[in-house]
Amino acid sequence: MPARTPRTIYIVRHAIAAERGEKYPDDAKRPLTHDGIARMRQAVRGFSTLDPGIDLVLTSPYVRARQTAEPVVKALRLSGKLRETQALEPSSDPQEILDEVRGEKAKAILLVGHEPHLGALLGRLVAGSPGLEIPMRKAAVARLVWDGSGAATLKALLPAKVLARVGVSQD
C-alpha cells in the first residue's frame, strides 16, 4: 500500500453568534454579533502571523460560519479558495467531512463549523475512531496533521484570546 502524504487540517469554530429566537428563528441564518465579528478579527490577526499555509477553506453554509471564514480568507489572501459544504453543518456526521477532505489535493485545509459537530470531529481525528469529543470554544483553532487514515496528531488548540494576544504582540 502506498504511503499517504500527511496534510495539515485546521478546525475553527464560528465566533459569537446572535441567539436563536424571534429575530432569528432559522438557525442557519443567525449572524455573528458585533462582538463576535470584532473578536474574530482579533483572532485572525494572530492566526495570520502563524503563516498557516492554507490552500483551501471549507465552511458550513450557515451564515455565522461563513462570516467567520471570510476574514481568514481575506487576511490570508485566499480569494477563490473558499467553498461551502453541507458536511460541516451542525447535524452532519463527522465522517462526511473526513471523506471530503480525503478527496482534496490541498496540503493544508481550514474547516469552519459548529459545536457539537466540530468537537466530535476533533475527537475522532485525535482518537482515530468515533467516541471521543473535544469541545471547542468559539473562534478557537485546532491544528492537526493527518495522513487520511487512523489518528491525527494534534499540534495545537488555541483559544481566540491567545490568537488575539499573538496578533497584538506583532504590532
Domain boundaries, the chain: 7-169
pLDDT at 7: 94
**What's the CA gap between 96 and 44, in Å, rounded?**
27
The half-sphere exposure of 163 on its side-chain side, counting CA atoms within 13 A, is 30
Grid cell locating 3: 504511503
Angstrom distances, CA of residue 3 to CA of 99, 106, 148, 153: 18, 17, 10, 17
Task: Please give the average pLDDT of every successive group of 10 residues along the chain, which has 171 residues.
Answer: 77 96 93 95 90 93 97 92 97 96 94 97 96 95 94 95 78 49
pLDDT at 1: 41
3-state helix, strand, coil in the chain (%, to 5): 40, 20, 40
Angstrom distances, CA of residue 139 to CA of 46, 129, 171: 12, 25, 21
Angstrom distances, CA of residue 123 to CA of 29, 59, 115, 130, 142: 27, 19, 12, 7, 11
The CATH architecture of the domain made up of 7-169 is 3-Layer(aba) Sandwich (3.40)
Q: Who contacts 72 (Cβ-Cβ below 8 Å, separation ≥6)? A: 12, 44, 47, 48, 54, 57, 78, 110, 112
pLDDT at 88: 98
Grid cell locating 154: 494534534
Say what the pTM is: 0.94
